[in-house]
Structure 1
Amino acid sequence: MEKKDISKMLRRELILELHKARAENTKKEELIQARSHLVSLRNQVQEEKRKCEELEQKLAIQDKDLQPFIDRENQNLLAKLEKIYEGNKCSFCKLKFHSETHRRAILKCGHVFGEMCIHTYLILHKNCPVCDFPAVLWDVRIIIAGENLCTANYFSS
């Protein structure tokens, strides 16, 4: 073989080696880029975790700050419920009102009693037991509570 042929073969081999090396380098560059992308994603995840922890700490502080307010509102609501509960009991016997056996009855002054309790009281007395406003049996109005609140005259027999 001649020197020219040998140099051509060497060139071809060198060119093939160069192409192989470029292909390998391309693969290595892709791996490096993929790794750098993973590192970037890891950094983003860590940053998001840090932000979440900060928000959780802020929320915990806000919860501690709001707890006295929540407790106070809870106490207010309980007091209102107690007032409503008390308003649904007869001023005399302190029993809850029932639809037939212990109906609500109201006097002109606005005080509410059980029907039989106020009738029994007014037979002996001539005034409201709460405010001492003058009252007689025919002043008693039965409260008929349905969807709409209204009063109906009581007719004694």
Structure 2
Amino acid sequence: MREENSVQNDLDDWVGPPDGGPHVWRTLGFRRKQNAVGHATVEWDASPDYSFPTSNGPVVQGGLVTAVLDSAMGGACWTVLEGDETFLTADLRVEFLRTTRPGKLTATGTVVRRTRRVVFCAAELVDEEGTVLAASRCTQVVLPLDGPAGRRTHHLRA
């Protein structure tokens, strides 16, 4: 497992978008609020633009709720990887516990368990009052960074 200072330095690189490349965090406006080994917190000001109208007011689209939870769990997972590892999500489950309205949302992701090849994570999404709106669990498969399934080699294939 990486040392805490190494994680902080690497996370600065991870959160920043690659030169000229797309980046879901920037596109949606996600912000890293806090991180530590095995933990990541992501904030998002969910705009009514990301909602659909109902008779009780706007509701944030469920796929975007899932995206912010996935980002928090991915951030937590990333902190427990070695420098030559990456990961891909193998399974993702979300429970929508309450209606998610536009406003400031906070997703906190935690590594529940790490094995040699798999990382199990969990996350919760809360509103400004601290009400839990959604909960999520995922399974991440650990892969070699430069191997046939790693990101660096994969994007170079024809």
Is TM more than 0.5 here?
no
Higher relative contact order (CA 8 A, sep 6+): 2
Please give the TM-score of this superposition, normalised by the length of structure 2.
0.22
Please give the TM-score of this superposition, normalised by the length of structure 1.
0.22
Which structure's residues are more often helix, by fraction?
A: 1
